[in-house]
């Protein structure tokens, strides 16, 4: 005996919400988008043209698709037609993949995603899933949607540009020496600008036209042959300078795209070539990608940003600025790994933001090992006399204060060093082990007093029980967010190009990670029927659907009952 099955009967309920489970992720997506304030959608309103799809519906559809590891616009379009939860969220609408893709990369979508993260964090605070004690910051490299071997390098561009300047100047001098063209007015004598190169091309073009007219006007064969010979050299110069103009423009455009970076991809100009863990060639090959920074608490991503530079140190301050400006107020503790530990970052957190940095520095682990503590030649282990302001080397000689040195890096940050120099290193039996300075030069120590105080402060914080426990949560808080993104969500490569579009896509991806975790946590909690609006809403609709069902049956004729066909009568 089989259960009743027929394709010729209408199946109820008609409301798709009844088909969803009580803790379906579609409800989490629905509530997350509905919490976005109405003012955030003002930028998408338009007065003329065909009415657009409701942006809340578009947000729900795309966000729900990302929770199911679907990132293609065409596949999202197919899901809207096939998936029950997607059909419920879309409420019968079926946007095309073009509409989905345009909305996903729309500039106003960035504000909607920001509001979604802000409201989601407020919800977590209200439900006491996070305590606002600290944020955990870390970064990861994400592969861009760019071809693998389309790199352009700054050093190569600068070298070719310098060669172009040298060759163009040399060839211009040849033209003046041979009196092929008259001298032009130059702004700078070191190199010819693009405008000046174009002017040379125009003058050479006039010379070629002059030769053409002379050849046409001449009837003498030997004279025509000589004119063609002279024209050949001019045409070669013309071709060469025309190539110089194109290359000059290309190099100038490349330098504009580089900005402060050392490379970019031809297929995605905002992507930078970085070294990643996923090495498909297994030879350390660089790949075009983005440096993605996140701030988490309770394993939820609360803020994110995208940077083109591969190092985390330079992204720390701009990321904190972005968090304070667009997401939330910084908590008391800011936790990060050694990649963010620098004098500038410590100064910004402690002095400018008045927060506590639980951030290690590069040598933190090394300084705790016995090998480092027993190294008698390291200045950190030398005896310091505060009254005389001197260090004592392993040979017992004094290193006295010599002068102060200031070093400014390429980003404009200045560090101050106190330079101490040994009184006399000549004839020291430990010289070869103590210093690599040339003969005749004494051992010097560059002591950054501010940096040493900062390191001592960090060591003290991490040795305390309360702050040490907070820092110990870093690995189990921020690292899983990247694991959920890449392993569970299978989001390992961008599907859009351009930094602004990439930022929007990452917003959808990180919010999808948050909603999947949030739904999983809710599913493991006991269900309270009185405080569960989703379930109560569905139960409230069941009597209404039953009434509609009975009314429908009253006038329903099954498709299997067919009227007999009358035979056709011929006239």
pLDDT in tens, 397-406: 888 888 899 9
The residues pairing with 288 across neighbouring beta strands, listed in sequence order, are 273
Indicate whether 394 belongs to any domain: yes
Across residues 531-543, what is the average pLDDT? 44
Q: For residues 322 and 543, what is the distance between their CA atoms, to the nearest angstrom?
A: 50
Q: Select, from the ranges 246-260, 399-413, 550-564, the one with the highest average predicted confidence (pLDDT).
A: 246-260
Confidence of residue 543 (pLDDT cuts 50, 70, 90): very low
Number of domains observed in the structure of the chain: 3
For Cα atoms 164, 170, 171, give the angle at the middle one, nearest 5 degrees: 90
What does the pLDDT read at residue 233? 87
Please determine, for residue 370, whether its predicted confidence score (pLDDT) is greater than 90.
no
Indicate whether 498 belongs to any domain: no
Across residues 89-100, what is the average pLDDT? 92
Residues 161, 228: one domain?
A: yes
Residues 34, 121: one domain?
A: yes
Q: Please state which of the ranges 172-186, 223-237, 536-550 shows the lowest mean pLDDT.
A: 536-550
Indicate whether 398 belongs to any domain: yes
Indicate whether 525 belongs to any domain: yes
Residue range(s) defining the domain that contains residue 205:
153-265
Across residues 549-566, what is the average pLDDT? 40
Q: For residues 524 and 363, what is the distance between their CA atoms, to the nearest angstrom?
A: 42
Please determine, for residue 570, whether its predicted confidence score (pLDDT) is greater than 50.
no
Residue that terminates a domain, selected from 265, 292, 317: 265
Chain mean pLDDT for the chain: 85
Residues 95, 20: one domain?
A: yes
Per residue in 295-314, is it b (16+ CB within 10 Å) or e — as a string? Answer: bbbebbbbbbbbbbbbebbb
Residues 112, 158: one domain?
A: no
Q: For residues 265 and 244, what is the distance between their CA atoms, to the nearest angstrom?
A: 23
What does the pLDDT read at residue 528? 53
Between 55-67 and 499-523, two packed helices, what is the crossing angle to 10 degrees?
Answer: 70
Residue that terminates a domain, selected from 426, 449, 472: 449
Please determine, for residue 5, whether its predicted confidence score (pLDDT) is greater than 70.
no
Across residues 170-178, what is the average pLDDT? 88
Give the number of other Cβ atoms within 10 Å of residue 4's Cβ.
5
What does the pLDDT read at residue 562? 38
On the CB side of 486, CA atoms within 13 Å amount to: 14
Please determine, for residue 555, whether its predicted confidence score (pLDDT) is greater than 50.
no
- Spatial neighbors of 505 by CB under 8 A, at least 6 apart, are 71, 104, 105, 494, 495, 496
Residues 122, 159: one domain?
A: no
For residue 157, the SS3 value is helix
Q: How far apart, in Å, are the Cα atoms of 98 and each of 20, 497, 509?
A: 28, 16, 19
Give the number of other Cβ atoms within 10 Å of residue 78's Cβ.
15
Residues 158, 127: one domain?
A: no
Please determine, for residue 319, whether its predicted confidence score (pLDDT) is greater than 90.
yes
Whether the pTM exceeds 0.75: the reply is: yes
Indicate whether 437 belongs to any domain: yes
Q: How many residues appear in the chain?
A: 571
Between 109-126 and 55-67, two packed helices, what is the crossing angle to 10 degrees?
Answer: 70
What does the pLDDT read at residue 51? 86
What does the pLDDT read at residue 97? 94
Q: What is the tens place of the pLDDT at every residue in 204-252? A: 898 889 888 888 888 888 888 888 888 888 889 889 989 999 999 999 9
The residues pairing with 60 across neighbouring beta strands, listed in sequence order, are none
Residues 395, 442: one domain?
A: yes
Q: What is the tens place of the pLDDT at every residue in 25-77? A: 999 999 999 999 999 998 888 888 888 899 999 999 999 999 999 999 999 99
Residues 36, 105: one domain?
A: yes
What does the pLDDT read at residue 14? 67
Q: How far apart, in Å, are the Cα atoms of 502 and each of 105, 318, 493?
A: 8, 18, 10
- Spatial neighbors of 105 by CB under 8 A, at least 6 apart, are 496, 498, 500, 501, 504, 505
What does the pLDDT read at residue 547? 45
Indicate whether 462 belongs to any domain: no
Helices (H), 259-341: 316-326
CB 432 within 8 A of CB 401: no
Q: For residues 101 and 61, what is the distance between their CA atoms, to the nearest angstrom?
A: 12
Q: Select, from the ranges 265-279, 424-438, 475-489, the one with the highest average predicted confidence (pLDDT).
A: 475-489
- What is the percent of the chain where pLDDT is above 70? 89
Residues 63, 99: one domain?
A: yes
Q: For residues 333 and 349, what is the distance between their CA atoms, to the nearest angstrom?
A: 10
Residues 204, 99: one domain?
A: no
Q: For residues 406 and 418, what is the distance between their CA atoms, to the nearest angstrom?
A: 9
CB 134 within 8 A of CB 323: no
Residue that terminates a domain, selected from 434, 449, 464: 449
The residues pairing with 519 across neighbouring beta strands, listed in sequence order, are none
Report which of residues 438 and 548 the model is more confident about: 438
Tokens of 497: 């190009």
Please determine, for residue 470, whether its predicted confidence score (pLDDT) is greater than 90.
yes
DSSP code string of 6-53: -SSS--S---GGGGS-TT-HHHHHHHHHHTS-GGGGGGG--SSSSPPP
On the CB side of 244, CA atoms within 13 Å amount to: 28
Indicate whether 350 belongs to any domain: no
Across residues 187-205, what is the average pLDDT? 86
Q: What is the tens place of the pLDDT at every residue in 99-152? A: 999 999 999 999 999 999 999 999 999 998 998 899 999 999 999 999 888 899
Residue 554 CA, chain-centre distance (Å), reads 60
Q: For residues 165 and 334, what is the distance between their CA atoms, to the nearest angstrom?
A: 50
Report which of residues 565 and 375 the model is more confident about: 375
Indicate whether 178 belongs to any domain: yes
Q: What is the tens place of the pLDDT at every residue in 418-469? A: 998 888 887 788 888 888 888 778 888 898 989 999 999 999 999 999 999 9
What does the pLDDT read at residue 374? 86
Residues 197, 255: one domain?
A: yes
Q: With the CA atoms of 309, 313, 314 and 317 taken in that order, what torsion angle do they form, in degrees rounded to the nearest 10? A: 130
Q: What is the tens place of the pLDDT at every residue in 497-533? A: 999 999 999 999 999 999 999 999 888 776 554 444 4
What does the pLDDT read at residue 549? 40
Residues 159, 202: one domain?
A: yes
Please determine, for residue 280, whether its predicted confidence score (pLDDT) is greater than 70.
no
Please determine, for residue 363, whether its predicted confidence score (pLDDT) is greater than 90.
no
Q: For residues 508 and 71, what is the distance between their CA atoms, to the nearest angstrom?
A: 10
């Amino acid at each position: 005996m089989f259960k009743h099955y027929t394709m010729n009967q209408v199946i109820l309920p008609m409301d798709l919400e009844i088909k969803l489970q009580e803790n379906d992720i579609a409800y989490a997506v629905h509530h997350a988008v509905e919490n976005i304030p109405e003012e955030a959608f003002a930028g998408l309103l338009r007065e003329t043209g065909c009415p657009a799809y409701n942006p809340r519906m578009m947000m729900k559809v795309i966000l729900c698709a990302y929770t199911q590891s679907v990132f293609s616009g065409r596949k999202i379009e197919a899901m809207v037609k096939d998936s029950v939860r997607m059909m419920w969220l879309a409420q019968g609408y079926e946007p095309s993949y073009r509409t989905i893709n345009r909305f996903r990369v729309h500039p106003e979508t960035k504000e909607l995603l920001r509001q979604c993260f802000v409201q989601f964090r407020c919800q977590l605070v209200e439900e006491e899933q996070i305590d606002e004690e600290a944020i955990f910051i870390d970064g990861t490299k994400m592969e861009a949607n760019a071809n693998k071997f389309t790199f352009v390098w700054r050093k190569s561009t600068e070298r070719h540009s310098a060669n172009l300047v040298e060759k163009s100047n040399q060839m211009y001098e040849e033209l003046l020496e041979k009196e092929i063209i008259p001298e032009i007015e130059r702004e700078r004598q070191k190199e010819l600008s693009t405008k000046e190169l174009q002017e040379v091309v125009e003058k050479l073009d006039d010379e070629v036209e002059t030769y053409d007219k002379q050849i046409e006007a001449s009837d003498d064969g030997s004279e025509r042959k000589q004119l063609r010979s002279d024209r050949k050299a001019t045409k070669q110069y013309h071709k060469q300078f025309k190539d110089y103009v194109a290359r000059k423009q290309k190099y100038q455009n490349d330098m504009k795209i580089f900005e402060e970076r050392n490379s970019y991809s031809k297929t995605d100009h905002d992507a930078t070539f970085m070294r990643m863990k996923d090495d498909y060639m297994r030879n350390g090959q660089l790949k075009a990608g983005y440096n993605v920074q996140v701030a988490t608490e309770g394993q939820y991503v609360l803020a994110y940003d995208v940077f083109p530079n591969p190092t985390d140190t330079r992204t720390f301050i701009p990321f904190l600025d972005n968090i304070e400006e667009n997401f939330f107020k910084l908590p008391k503790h800011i936790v990060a790994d050694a990649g963010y530990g620098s004098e500038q970052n410590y100064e910004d957190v402690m002095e400018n933001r008045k927060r506590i940095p639980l951030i290690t520095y590069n040598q933190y682990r090394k300084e705790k090992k016995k090998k480092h503590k027993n190294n008698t030649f390291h200045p950190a282990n030398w005896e310091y006399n505060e009254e005389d302001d001197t260090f004592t080397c392993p040979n017992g000689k004094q290193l006295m204060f010599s002068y102060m040195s200031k070093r400014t890096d390429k980003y404009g940050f200045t560090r101050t060093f106190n330079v101490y120099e040994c009184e006399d290193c000549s004839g020291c039996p430990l010289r070869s082990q103590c210093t690599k300075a040339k003969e005749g030069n004494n051992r010097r120590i560059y002591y950054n007093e501010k940096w040493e105080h900062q390191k001592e402060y960090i060591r003290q914080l991490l040795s305390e029980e309360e702050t040490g426990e907070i820092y110990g949560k870093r690995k189990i808080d921020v690292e899983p967010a990247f694991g959920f993104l890449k392993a569970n969500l299978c989001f390992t490569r961008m599907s859009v190009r351009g930094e602004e579009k990439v930022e929007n896509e990452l917003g959808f991806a990180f919010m999808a990670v948050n909603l999947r975790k949030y739904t999983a946590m809710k599913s493991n909690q006991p269900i309270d029927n009185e405080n569960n609006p989703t379930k109560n809403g569905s139960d409230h609709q069941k009597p209404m659907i039953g009434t509609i069902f009975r009314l429908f049956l009253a006038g329903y004729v099954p498709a299997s009952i067919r009227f007999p066909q009358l035979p056709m009568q011929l006239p």
